[in-house]
Each structure stands twice: as C-alpha cells, then as structure tokens.
Amino acid sequence: MAQALTEGTLERVLPAWEQPADVWAMAAARSAQSAKVRVCVDFLKQELAHGEFALWKT
C-alpha cells in the first residue's frame, strides 16, 4: 500500500483520519516454542510498532 500511495495509484481519501489497530499473533502451545515462530512474532512486533509500516505514530 505504501508503494501505491507513493506512486499515486492509490489516493488517501481522509488523510487526517487514523484509527488504531490491534494485531494478535496466535500459535498452538507447541508451535509457540518454535524459534521460527518466536523470531516471526518479534519481527512483527518491531515492524508494526516502529517500522516503515507502523500501525501508530509515537
């Protein structure tokens, strides 16, 4: 979406309006112990909080 906004192929209709979003990551108890799952969840937490596509601005 960010690329489409930059290229002008997607236009923001209400630029002053934002809404917070909750994101949940769920895994079976056995899968949650997997290093791959932990790395993925940690990555998502970092990127959605502070990355280029952060869900909220601080």
What residue type is 25 in one-letter code? A
* pLDDT, position 29: 84
pTM above 0.75, yes or no: no
Continuous segment of H or E residues that includes residue 58: none
Judged against a pLDDT cut of 80, whether residue 21 lies above it is answered with no
Mean pLDDT for the stretch of residues 10-27:
80
Q: Which long-range contacts (CB under 8 A, 24 or more apart) does 49-58 make?
A: 52/2, 53/2, 55/20, 55/21, 55/23, 56/18, 56/20
| CB-based contacts of 22, cutoff 8 Å, min separation 6 | none
Three-state secondary structure call for residue 28: coil
Judged against a pLDDT cut of 80, whether residue 34 lies above it is answered with yes
